[in-house]
Structure 1
């Protein structure tokens, strides 16, 4: 066997391995969990997907007009959507994404992030990360989090929980965006 045949064989083998790794990496985002976050196309216009997707991008509800001003996290009880707003940037909507609420909703109003935890166990027993707490009402703690396994199941109706779950990528965005004292506006 000549050296050309050996080099060709090694090259073909390397190409096969690289192709396999590229194929596996292509689906890694979907396996990592959750819907892809969306960002606004303009400061007042509709949102567009932050990353291209083969499936149709869900329509992002418009930012509620009663959502206040300044840098803030906006949570809509009716649409179960979160917007991350930074008025110093263009577009002002840094990200917008759907969430799954707990069994109890916070009262509409303005709050501040008072506590954050990198990882812990949620009230449903799931391992969660990027916990950003902003309110306590009648013994219920309200905050955003993401399940480590990427799941966003509907909360058990028998449990009294204020956890608002997002996908992992969205949880990371919110964690990075909302340190302590960040304003959180809850709208109906």
Structure 2
């Protein structure tokens, strides 16, 4: 029995190492993603900052197969390949409207539009609508991050331009998007 336990622990350790090794380290320019401006401005104690965990680790119960995983609590996205390996992970700045946890599909995409905040944005990947507000990922053409005004209903989840390029390539119409806490 001890031998089986040791073998299982070794296997889990090796898989954790492989998962961490496959995650790009270029995420250092991202802001602290433990709390979003919307959460801080809203003063919602239920959305207080969480301690940062290993960004390579997918949230529990985030599905299987190829998918985009978006964590509301960590303001972080994982692009997961069909074998369940993280191909990229990055922090994001959410809008003031959060989708409910669940599984969605990419419903529409726009190469370039003007965001609700008046900022030109590109690579818009939409996956749901919350009370008339479209929710999706996008990147500001000028690379800026929005200052979220909780009194204005916005569903844009802002990425950096390189992360927006990766999302655009990965998340085509019908791609699964799993939203977790």
TM-score by length of 2: 0.72
Corresponding position of 2:93: 100
Matched residues, number: 143
1:43 correspondence with 2:19: yes
* Structure 2 stretches lacking a partner, 5+ long: 1-15, 30-51
- The CA deviation at 1:152 is 1.3
- The CA deviation at 1:48 is 4.5
Q: SS at the partner of 1:153?
A: coil
1:63 correspondence with 2:34: no
TM-score by length of 1: 0.70
Structure 1 residue runs of 4 or more that deviate by more than 4 Å after TM superposition: 50-53
Q: Which has the larger radius of gyration?
A: 1
8 A contact 2:22–2:87 mirrored in 1: no
Residue range with higher mean Cα deviation, 155-164 or 97-106 = 155-164
Corresponding position of 2:119: 126
Q: Distance in 2 between the 1:75 and 1:151 partners?
A: 20
* Structure 1 stretches lacking a partner, 5+ long: 1-39
| Residues 102-136 of structure 1 deviation map (CA, whole Å, 9 limit, x = unaligned) | 00110000000010000000000000000000001
Residue range with higher mean Cα deviation, 157-166 or 123-132 = 157-166
Q: Distance in 1 between the 2:60 and 2:28 partners?
A: 28
From 70, 75, 79, the equivalent of 1:80 is 75
Q: SS at the partner of 1:176?
A: helix
| Residues 5-27 of structure 1 deviation map (CA, whole Å, 9 limit, x = unaligned) | xxxxxxxxxxxxxxxxxxxxxxx
